């Protein structure tokens, strides 16, 4: 079943076992339904877009739908399609319609902070989901260790370049959106790996540019400009997610250039396929089942007027320490793709057919997927 692992969140991380079944924390005296159980308030999930990554609509939405259905909680899920003003309107409408908890994936910290401030004025709890809202004042933050994500990307690129025997390779960096705090954390992670190699001359730092709104078409244009600027002399690309990585792959192929190590993130079907074909060096798997499970467990407890167990981690949002659930990312590369693909399929994140369709079927069979 696609959602069988939905609430398989490590107990040590969020004490999820005491949250899952019905948000079983201490009751704050909310209204009750039959059997004396707290009557749940409504939850609204505010997704950012459908272009920056396939995960938002392909994984997060259906996982949230199933999670709240299982918990018996009324939830709405909307997508702002990259428009901060639209997201703010969606948040206000959700509160008007009775939402007691917002799960927010902000488009930028400024608009996110405004959404949180309005929610707090009306007694609505807010969980920053996947992206931290700087100076925002959310009640909880659920994400992955995003600096570690970047470190995995940096190490993956280094390993791939060394495997190719590259000498003083020129490395280009396609960073994520400058308005996304996660992109800043990813860059902090991979630059902690790459900067010492630039400094000692092992690697050469090539073009380095952020991609607005994680827009893959803009990434294609930016990378084409990088190739033109360097006369095609780029030996590796630190791309912050699979979409940006695929843009670089497309540009390389359009110019009939040789394959070079290119990173990614999100373990999308496209990213997995690019690893199978040798076009992409690695990606990072961040289990949506774990992330949704942790966030939904908190939201269910809050919606039922209960106090969930306090997460053990905290994250500085610029003005306060936010109680946080920070999950563990996993690198996926050519060496471990069979094992990781099987785990991804077992988690319900992707199906085998999504990865192994068309020309990739034979590559999957060869890899043992």
Residues 166 and 263 in one domain: yes
Domain around 276: 146-285+331-367
Residues 61 and 166 in one domain: no
- The per-residue pLDDT of the chain, averaged, comes to 91
Average pLDDT (29-35) is 41
How many domains are contained in the chain?
2
Residue 240 contacts residue 176 (beta carbons within 8 Å)? yes
For residue 23, pLDDT over 90 is answered with no
Average pLDDT (338-364) is 97
For residue 20, pLDDT over 70 is answered with no
Q: What pLDDT shows up at residue 11?
A: 34
Residues 271 and 294 in one domain: no
In the chain, count of helices (H) and strands (E)?
14, 14
For residue 349, pLDDT over 80 is answered with yes
Residues 354 and 271 in one domain: yes
Residue 4 domain flag: no
Q: Which of 259, 361, 175 is nearest to 250 (CA)?
A: 259
Residue 2 domain flag: no
Residue 128 contacts residue 136 (beta carbons within 8 Å)? yes
Question: How does pLDDT run across 76-99, given as a tens digit for each residue?
Answer: 999 999 999 999 999 999 999 999
Q: What is the DSSP letter of 179?
A: T
Question: How does pLDDT run across 142-201, given as a tens digit for each residue?
Answer: 999 999 999 999 999 999 999 999 999 999 999 999 999 999 999 999 999 999 999 999
Q: Which of 100, 111, 55 is nearest to 301 (CA)?
A: 100
CATH code at position 107: 3.40.50.2300
Residues 185 and 76 in one domain: no
Q: What pLDDT shows up at residue 2?
A: 43
Share of the chain above pLDDT 90, in %: 87
Residues 254 and 363 in one domain: yes
Residue 319 domain flag: yes
Share of the chain above pLDDT 70, in %: 90
Residues 112 and 176 in one domain: no
Residue 319 or residue 33, greater confidence: 319
**Helix (H/G/I), strand (E/B), else coil: 204:** strand
For residue 9, pLDDT over 80 is answered with no
Residue 89, Cβ density class (10 Å: 0-12 exposed, 13-18 middle, ≥19 buried): middle
Residues 35 and 87 in one domain: yes
For residue 222, pLDDT over 50 is answered with yes
Residue 207 contacts residue 173 (beta carbons within 8 Å)? yes
Question: How does pLDDT run across 119-141, given as a tens digit for each residue?
Answer: 999 999 999 999 999 999 999 99
Residue 335 domain flag: yes
Q: What pLDDT shows up at residue 52?
A: 84
Query: How would residue 53 be classed by pLDDT, with cut points 50, 70 and 90?
Result: confident
Residue 5 domain flag: no
For residue 314, pLDDT over 60 is answered with yes
Residues 109 and 31 in one domain: yes
Residue 161 domain flag: yes
For residue 284, pLDDT over 90 is answered with yes
Residues 118 and 184 in one domain: no
Q: What pLDDT shows up at residue 37?
A: 53
Residues 360 and 215 in one domain: yes
């Amino acid at each position: 079943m696609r959602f069988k692992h939905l609430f398989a969140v490590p107990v040590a991380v969020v004490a999820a076992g005491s949250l899952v079944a019905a948000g079983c924390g201490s009751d704050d005296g909310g209204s009750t339904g039959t059997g004396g159980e707290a009557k749940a308030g409504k939850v609204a999930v505010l997704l950012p877009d459908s272009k920056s990554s396939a995960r938002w609509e392909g994984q997060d939405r259906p996982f949230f739908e199933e999670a709240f259905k299982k918990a018996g909680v009324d939830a709405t899920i909307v997508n702002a399609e990259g428009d901060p003003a639209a997201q703010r309107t969606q948040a206000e409408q959700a509160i008007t319609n009775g939402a007691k908890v917002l799960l927010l994936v902000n488009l930028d910290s400024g608009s996110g902070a405004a959404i949180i401030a309005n929610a707090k004025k009306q007694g609505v709890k807010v969980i920053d989901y996947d992206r931290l809202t700087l100076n925002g004042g959310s009640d909880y933050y659920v994400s992955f260790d995003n600096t570690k994500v970047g470190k995995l990307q940096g190490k993956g690129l280094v390993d791939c370049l060394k495997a190719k025997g590259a000498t003083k390779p020129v490395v280009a960096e396609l960073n994520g959106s400058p308005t996304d705090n996660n992109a800043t954390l990813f860059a902090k992670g991979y630059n902690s790996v790459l900067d010492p190699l630039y400094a000692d001359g092992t690697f050469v730092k090539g073009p380095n540019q952020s991609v607005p709104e994680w827009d893959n078409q803009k990434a294609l244009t930016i990378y084409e400009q990088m190739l033109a600027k360097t006369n095609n002399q780029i030996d590796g690309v630190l791309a912050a997610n699979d979409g940006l990585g695929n843009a670089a792959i497309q540009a390389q192929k359009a110019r009939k250039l040789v394959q070079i190590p290119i990173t990614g993130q999100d373990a999308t079907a496209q990213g997995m396929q690019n690893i199978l074909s040798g076009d992409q060096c690695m990606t990072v798997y961040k289990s949506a089942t774990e992330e949704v499970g942790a966030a939904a467990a908190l939201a269910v407890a809050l919606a039922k007027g209960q106090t969930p167990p306090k997460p053990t981690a905290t994250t500085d949002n610029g003005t306060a320490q936010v109680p946080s659930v920070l999950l563990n990312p996993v690198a996926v590369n050519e060496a471990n793709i069979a094992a990781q693909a099987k785990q991804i399929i077992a988690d319900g994140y992707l199906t085998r057919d999504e990865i192994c369709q068309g020309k990739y079927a034979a590559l999957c069979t060869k890899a043992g997927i």
